[in-house]
């Protein structure tokens, strides 16, 4: 799934390490999320939304065609 | 820490430290089992109590030594993590990381398929060798199937 994590992170001048520490995951997970290689759980999505003070929909780009909807 | 089995989330360092203490205790048990295994092997070899080949006695001694060394290394790793707060936090985050948990779960499911295929191959080949191997493999497969069914039932109630 495509995300706007990198864009939001850079806008707020936050490093991958700082973001990882804030949401309680490893830096590798943040890298995988930014590259769209790993889909976050609902809990992690909420934590990220809280960190960036936005909604989950603003962070994660849901592709209807990819999901066959 | 890479290569650790990550299967559960730990929300606090305190909770994770408790787990590390349990692991340290278990690793000491492994050391004891290893020493006992090695001692039995050496005693039997010395007294000539077991009528098994040198090769089998060597395997027995090797398992004992390996188990004791593994337990000792695991014990020191656990203690070093418990004593160092930053190490404890890093280890907890690594082990609780949801991606690492997903990787471990996927790896175990692949390993299970490989294990079952290997067991089937050994099962087929063992027809030309010993009946004991066929019985042992049949018991393991039955145990695996039963465990899978029971744990699926339990988890379906929990989730």
CATH code of A25's domain? 1.10.260.40
Query: What pLDDT is recorded for position B2?
Result: 44
Mean confidence (pLDDT) of chain B: 87
What's the DSSP call for residue A25? Answer: S
Give me the domain span that covers residue A29: 2-61
* Alpha-carbon separation of residue A40 from A3, A55, B55, B99, B130 (angstroms): 10, 14, 51, 8, 50
Interface test with A, best of B3, B90, B98, B101 (most A CBs within 10 A): B98
Query: What pLDDT is recorded for position B122?
Result: 84
ipTM confidence score: 0.86
Would A69 be classed as within a structural domain? no
Report chain A's C-alpha Rg in angstroms. Answer: 12
Distance from CA of A27 to the nearest CA of B (A): 10
Which helix (H) or strand (E) segment holds residue A65: the answer is none
What tokens were used for B140? Answer: 């393991």
Would A52 be classed as within a structural domain? yes
What's the CA gap between B34 and A11, in Å, rounded?
56
Measured between beta carbons, which residues in chain A are less than 8 angstroms from residue B93? Answer: 20-21, 24-26
pLDDT over 50 at B25, yes or no: yes
CB count, 10 Å around CB of B84? 12
The mean-pLDDT minimum among A12-16, B76-80, B124-128 falls in B124-128
Which helix (H) or strand (E) segment holds residue A41: the answer is none
Cβ atoms of A33 and A61 closer than 8 Å = no
Q: Does A32 touch chain B (CB under 8 A)?
A: yes
- Phi and psi for B97 in degrees, rounded to 5? -60, 125
Q: What is the full per-residue pLDDT of chain A (69 aa) written as tens digits? A: 889 999 999 999 999 999 999 999 999 999 999 999 999 999 999 999 999 999 999 999 887 777 776
Interface test with B, best of A3, A20, A26, A35 (most B CBs within 10 A): A26
**Total structural domains in chain A?**
1
Would A40 be classed as within a structural domain? yes
Contact state of A26 with B93 under an 8 Å Cβ cutoff: yes
Measured between beta carbons, which residues in chain B are less than 8 angstroms from residue A24? Answer: 93, 96
């Amino acid at each position: 799934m495509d995300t706007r994590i990198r864009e939001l992170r850079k806008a707020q001048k936050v490093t991958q390490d700082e973001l990882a520490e804030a949401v309680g995951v490893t830096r590798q997970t943040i890298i995988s999320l930014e590259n769209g290689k790993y889909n976050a759980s609902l809990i992690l999505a909420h934590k990220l939304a809280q960190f960036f003070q936005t909604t989950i929909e603003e962070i994660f780009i849901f592709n209807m065609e990819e999901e066959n909807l | 820490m890479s290569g650790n089995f990550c299967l559960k989330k730990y929300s606090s360092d305190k909770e994770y430290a408790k787990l590390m203490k349990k692991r340290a205790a278990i690793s000491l048990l492994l050391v004891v089992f290893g020493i006992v295994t090695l001692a039995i092997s050496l005693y039997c070899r010395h007294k000539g109590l077991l009528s098994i080949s040198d090769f089998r006695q060597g395997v027995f001694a090797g398992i004992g030594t390996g188990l004791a060394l593994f337990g000792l290394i695991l014990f020191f790793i656990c203690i070093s993590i418990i004593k160092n707060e930053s190490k404890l936090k890093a280890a907890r985050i690594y082990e609780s990381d949801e991606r690492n948990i997903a990787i471990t779960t996927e790896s175990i499911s692949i390993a299970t398929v490989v294990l079952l295929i290997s067991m089937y191959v050994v099962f087929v080949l063992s027809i030309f060798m010993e009946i004991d191997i066929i019985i042992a493999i049949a018991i393991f497969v039955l145990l695996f199937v039963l465990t899978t069914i029971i744990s699926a039932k339990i988890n379906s109630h929990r989730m």
